[in-house]
Amino acid sequence: MLLTKRMKNITNQVFGSLTAIYPHHSGKNHTIYWKYQCACGNAHIARANVISYQAKKGILNIPSCGCVELANKTKHGFRKLKDTHPAYRTYRGIINRCYNNNDPGYKWYGAVGVTLCNEWKNNPKAFIKWSINNGWKPGLQIDKDILCKKLKISPHIYSPETCQWTTAKINVGFATNRSNFGKHPNIHLSIQDVEKIEELYFSGVETNKSELARMFGVTPSSTQRLIKIAIKQGRG
């Protein structure tokens, strides 16, 4: 692609590890892709505005062909098939929920005393090794609640003795049990709330499901589902 007068000429300019060589092609909305030479020796094609933006953000987002990011991952020992092992992302999620009070899930975890054991807290490699040896597979979720409840451990803790990899159906099904009302963000009604909804509906005091939903602060579909289940189970 030829350089035109309307293009910003960045030939030979350096952006992190990348040196602009020449405009390669035009993409959607007339965005210009340039060919870059990376310091590692690889050629790299990317949008010019993206590369310049990354360069302005500083050293943590230094532009490269991907070699800098890969080197950082390799340095921490989590490289697998040229990427971070998925269990490490789960580990980071646990850390944030338990110790980062800015994380949306903190109020349901760290704020109520949920912690990560010392064996794992400062050693993600140990968590990943345990995961690989204890049933980790793509698509599974980490669960602490089932075994903690069985072992009568409270507050719950993430540890080799209390954790297991399980399916989302089992994990969510246990976590959203009515007995966990007030302890889990997905539970909006207590056992007593459900009993009261059924009492009001089947006694004829309030048969408008939308009004019941408004009274208890849930969606109409929630009350409809509760009534349907009650009828199916013979309580209506």
**Chain segment 81-140, per-residue pLDDT in tens:** 344 677 888 898 899 889 988 887 788 789 889 999 999 988 888 998 899 899 988 888
Query: What pLDDT shows up at residue 179?
Result: 56
CA-to-CA separations, 181 to 98, 175, 190, 191, 210, in angstroms, rounded: 19, 9, 5, 8, 22
Query: What pLDDT shows up at residue 158?
Result: 96
For the chain, list residues with pLDDT below 70. Answer: 57-61, 69-84, 169-188, 236
Distance CA 162, CA 153 (A): 9
Query: What pLDDT shows up at residue 82?
Result: 40
With beta carbons less than 8 A apart as the criterion, state whether 62 and 54 touch.
yes
Query: What pLDDT shows up at residue 165?
Result: 92
Q: What are phi and psi of 47, to 5 degrees?
A: -70, 135
Query: What pLDDT shows up at residue 163?
Result: 95
Domain segments of the chain as ranges:
14-73, 84-180, 191-232
Query: What pLDDT shows up at residue 206?
Result: 78
